[in-house]
Structure 1
Amino acid sequence: MLIDQTVLARTRKVGNSVLLERAVRLYAKAGFPFRASGVGGFFACRENLHNDSHILCRHRLKELAAELLTSNRVKKCREGTKGTATLLDVVDGPFALDYGKRIAGT
């Protein structure tokens, strides 16, 4: 799933962390949550991010993810009671509130 945020990025000067937070919100709500790292992480899925984020290096994306997690704007979640918390969602999102369901294949 690709969500175009180029208009937002061009009309307002917002930081990459804000755009990543919005991407986490939109993708989790749609059933395609990002993972904290690895397959499904920001770097692996960077082509789905807004125009500027896909050119960021792995280390910068990890720093941005850590910034979002430490500022409590994003949290690690799990789908229901299954497994460990590896999915990312905003604090008031479906996975953070334990009712999120992943779309098959994500």
Structure 2
Amino acid sequence: VVLTNPTTGGVTASYAMLGDVHIAEPGALIGFAGPRVIEQTIREKLPDGFQRAEYLMEHGMVDMVVSRLEMRPTIARLLKMLLKTPVAEKPLEPEILPPAVVNAEARPQA
């Protein structure tokens, strides 16, 4: 699951935390309720960086923090590992799409 800024509310409570691998963008705000709501509820000051991607990675909620520029190659490496496919010697050209994407684009839209 890729967590972008912000990933909050019901998305975090349901879909976002169901993945096997959680990748977040640097500095992304990730949480169910916002920091102010939590502080008002527990009547305590939250630690610096609370609910930010880096804090969540340090505490085991996120597996890695990856910039958008590195997201595509990172996801490709993960998929190759998880699907047990050989790693390509050179990266795919941007205009070359996997067959599933080409087939999906060829289908008529409902």
Larger radius of gyration: 2
Query: TM-score if structure 1 supplies the norm length?
Result: 0.27
User: RCO (CA 8 Å, sep 6+): is it higher in 1 or 2?
Assistant: 1
- TM-score between the two structures when normalised by the length of structure 2: 0.26
